[in-house]
Amino acid sequence: MPESEEDDDTRKQYGTGAVITGIESACTVLSWVAEQVIKATGRYDLVVDAPGGNYADNGIYYYINKGQYWLDMRAAEFGLRLVHLATLAANGSFIEVEGIRAVDRVWLVTSEGAFYPLEEVNIEYIRKLQAGSVSVSGTGSTPRLFSVLPIQLTSMLASTSSSTLEATYSGVGELHFGTGHRYRGILLYPPTSETTTIRIEGLFFSPKLTSDVVYSYWLCMHPTLLVDATIYEIVSEYENKSEIELWFNRIELRIMELVKDEIEHEMPRKATWRKG
């Protein structure tokens, strides 16, 4: 039987960087973060022309993305295990996912909004089911199994075509793909017979912030925390120990509050479970 869940808008933002329609006005933009950091640090050399109101990148985005990366690494501490939505074309069996760190669950989402959980298996098990090949074969199927393929450092042409997948499959549980070395792949079995939405739950790195039209969880939900994390990354390279400790402790206190929120959120669930 399918399971139903409410989609959390913040989860979609965190996983894909795509802002849900109508929520843009609630999100901070990258240039605002740059402005606050420059005003706090006096590092006017990191933007184009702060006195003239131009906070375009002249090095500041490097530190903002470092700060965001640090926050991403801490996200699991306060339960931020989130969602990436992918579209799988008809007869497709493979999804490339950028920025994924760990996979918790994978679901097939129907057009009616129902969720069918897929079972995780070893890549070799799927390989045996497909008689030693990862090529797509047959139609009229619905995926029920998945396997997470490891990150690889070998660069080859990225493709979801069966011929390329079969040609680059090493036969020992590895698949080499992509040109940026940033992807993990999810292999599904059997192939889908029609265009399907796949929901991947887990830990993700936020999209790299490059302009005011790129969003992330931190920009939309905790922009001032991103400001603090960016300042910490700057002072870590150029300031004294006391300055570094000041900003580190400030961020730690804010993360502790997020952890408390997660505990508060889980307590009613545990109490209900005990009663049951």
pLDDT at residue 30 in the model: 95
pLDDT at residue 106 in the model: 93
Inform me whether the pLDDT recorded for 164 exceeds 80. Answer: no
Q: Nearest 5 degrees, angle CA 31-CA 33-CA 38?
A: 95
pLDDT-based confidence at residue 235 (cuts at 50, 70, 90): very high
pLDDT at residue 133 in the model: 52
Residue 120 · residue 126 · CB < 8 Å:
no
Highest mean pLDDT among 69-78, 123-132, 185-194, 226-235: 226-235
Average pLDDT over residues 208-217: 89
Select from 174, 47, 187 the least CA-distant residue to 118. 187
pLDDT at residue 24 in the model: 53
Inform me whether the pLDDT recorded for 205 exceeds 80. Answer: yes
- What does the pLDDT look like over 49-72, one tens digit per residue? 999 999 999 999 999 999 999 999
Least confident window among 45-49, 77-81, 166-170, 263-267: 166-170
Inform me whether the pLDDT recorded for 274 exceeds 70. Answer: no
pLDDT at residue 128 in the model: 77
Residue 206 · residue 10 · CB < 8 Å:
no
Residue of 225 and 266 predicted with greater confidence: 225
Sorted by where each begins, the domain ranges of the chain are 15-79+205-275, 90-194
Select from 89, 95, 69, 22 the least CA-distant residue to 203. 69
Query: To 10 degrees, the CA torsion angle through 26, 30, 33, 38?
Result: -160
Mean confidence (pLDDT) of the chain: 75
Inform me whether the pLDDT recorded for 244 exceeds 90. Answer: yes
Residues sharing a CB contact under 8 Å with residue 247, sequence separation 6 or more, in sequence order? 228, 231, 232, 235
Inform me whether the pLDDT recorded for 99 exceeds 50. Answer: yes
